[in-house]
Structures are given as structure tokens and as C-alpha cells.
Amino acid sequence: MFLVLFLMLSKECWNLGSSGIRPVPNEILYGKVGSNFTMPGLEQDQHDGVIEWEFSSVEKPLAYIATYYFDSHIGPDVFSAYNKRISFFESNGSFVLHQLQKSDEGIYYRKINLTKKWIIDLKVYEPVSNVLVYPVPGENSSILLHCNFSGDGDFIYWSRDGKSVPDGWKLMNRNQTLQVPSTEACSLFRCEIFSAYEKKSNDFIYKNEHCKDWTSIKIAAISSVAGLIIIIIIIIIILLVIYFCCKRRKSSHNKLPEVQKLRSDGNPSPQERSQCLLVSAQAAGSHSEKV
């Protein structure tokens, strides 16, 4: 019973955003440090009633920003801390907050007619920049790759040759440092930093003296296999040429009565024989030139 009451009360506190508990926002918005940020006003232009803006963060539990009466003919009442920092739009109660700072991160309350409350959770980000991957000495002959960057990165993703790194590999330092087994080097490593806005990355090709051997072995193996395949193809072509040439000679001998008439002995004439040899020699010659 008491528990239920407590839960109800704490839920109430949650919704009202009082006493340090973060309220559930109606919307979460993101702004970059140094940018000009537009706080959303009303959907339609308003002609009467009142709008109030308040801000709350851990450092500043409650700060008034501005109050504006739509039907008044005097401008908005902007509180001193924000006087030089905001441009207020009298049509819909929206405002631009200039030169966003880390300290502007927090909860913004928009109240209409003293009751209706809209809660905006503003997250202020330092853009990610200077992403750089470099090796640092590791223990046990392992390689450590460090992904250095500045700004607010939420998530770090490592990949090797386009695939995510194996599950067993150790990640340290909030995933900024990747331990690579020394036998697994010779690859392209990529570090990607994700933030609410963007993705920035940097590549690093890890090479040592073993990698050179590996690549030359690979090249040698590939070229020898390719050479072998080409030689086999040439041999097959030569054999086919010889086969068809001799077959033609045989069939012409069997079928054509004119030829039979011309030749009495049934054996290929010396011209035919030399032509056949010449064709196969030419075929062989042209293919070996190509190689």
C-alpha cells in the first residue's frame, strides 16, 4: 500500500520535474557547441495568452528565460542571464539561443497560459574531430591500436578489413584501445566514432616485416597459379587445333569423291600434310606470342 503510494508520488515528481529527478521529456533535441539553436515555439501563431520559458540542469535547478504576453504591445521579458543570448519570436513564442554552450544542456520547460507544459531535453554536443588511429606498445608481443579523438563520441566501432573485429579481441579504455594478437596484423583497421549527429572514422594499415613476406608469398602463389592455368589453356588449344585439322583432313578423304578421284592411294597428299602442320605451328606460335 505504502509502496504504491510512494510509486505514485515519485511518478508525480518525475512528471513535474521537481526535486532533482529527471522528468520524462516530450522531445529530445540535439545542438552543436557554438551553433545557434532554435527552441520550438507554438505550431500556429498565437494572438493572446502567455508563454513562459524555464531551464533546469544539475548546476542550475531553475532559471527563468523569458515571459511573453502575446496580446501585449511590449516586447518579451527576458531574464538577465539570457538578455544578450536570445532572439525571441513574438509570433509563436519560439527563440534562438546563440552560441550554444555545454552549460546549456538540460531541460527546457515551455508553459502556455501557466499550465500547459512542454518538456524539451536539450543535449549539447562537441562535434567529433581529429579521429586518429595509431599503435601503442602492448604486453605479450600483442599490438595495441589506440583511437584518439576529440569531442563527444557516444560509441566506438572497430573493424578489420571491412568486418567487425572477432569477439575474443580485447577492448580497453571505453573501447578506445583495441588489442590485436600479433599474428593477426597485416590488415586495414578502421575506428568509427558515432555521435548523435555524425560518424567520423580513421583508417590504419598495420604492417610489420612479416606482412611483407605474406604479401610477396601471396603474389608469388597467385602469379604461379595464373601462369599454370594459361599454359594449360594453350596446350588445350594446340591439341584442339591439331585434332580438328587432322579430322578435317580425314573426313575430306572419306567423303569427297572428287578428292578420291584425284588421289589414287588414299593417303593425304604432301601439300595437305604440310598445310596441316603449318596451321598447327601457326596456332601454337600465335598463342605463345600472346603469353
Ligand X SMILES: *[C@@H]1O[C@H](CO)[C@@H](O)[C@H](O)[C@H]1NC(C)=O
Helix/strand/coil for 184: helix
Q: Which residue, 94 or 275, is less far from ligand X as judged by CB? A: 94
Around Cβ 39, how many Cβ atoms within 10 Å? 22
Where does residue 269 rank: exposed (0-12), middle (13-18), buried (19+ CB within 10 A)? Answer: middle
d(CA 242, CA 283): 9
Residue 196 Cβ, how far from ligand X at the closest point, in Å?
Answer: 14
- Minimum Å gap between C-beta 219 and ligand X is 33
For the record, the C-alpha cell of 29 comes out as 533535441
Residue 198 CB, nearest approach to ligand X (Å): 16
Residue closer to ligand X by CB (options 176, 280) is 176
Considering beta carbons, is residue 137 or 266 the nearer one to ligand X? 137
Residue partners of 243: CB distance under 8 A and separation at least 6: none
Q: Which amino acid is at 172?
A: M
Closest approach, Cβ 151 to ligand X, in A, equals: 8
The span from the CA of 105 to the CA of 120, in Å, is: 10
Alpha-carbon distances of 125 from 63, 110, 153, 165, rounded to whole Å: 21, 22, 9, 28
And the C-alpha cell for 53? 520559458
Judged by DSSP in three states, 191 sits in strand
CB of 157 to ligand X, least distance (A): 6
Nearest distance in Å: CB 156, ligand X: 4
Of the pair 151, 268, the CB lying nearest ligand X is at 151
- Do residues 31 and 123 touch, judged by C-beta distance below 8 A? yes
Between residues 26 and 91, which has the closer beta carbon with respect to ligand X?
91
Which residues of the chain form contacts with ligand X (CB under 6 A)?
35-36, 40-41, 43, 48-49, 89, 91-92, 94, 98, 112-113, 132, 139-140, 148, 150, 155-156, 171, 174-175
Task: Please state, in angstroms and as integers, the Cα–Cα distance from residue 128 to each residue in 153, 155, 187, 242, following that order.
Answer: 6, 11, 25, 69
> What residue is closest to ligand X based on CB?
49
* Closer residue to ligand X, CB minimum distance, 183 or 271: 183
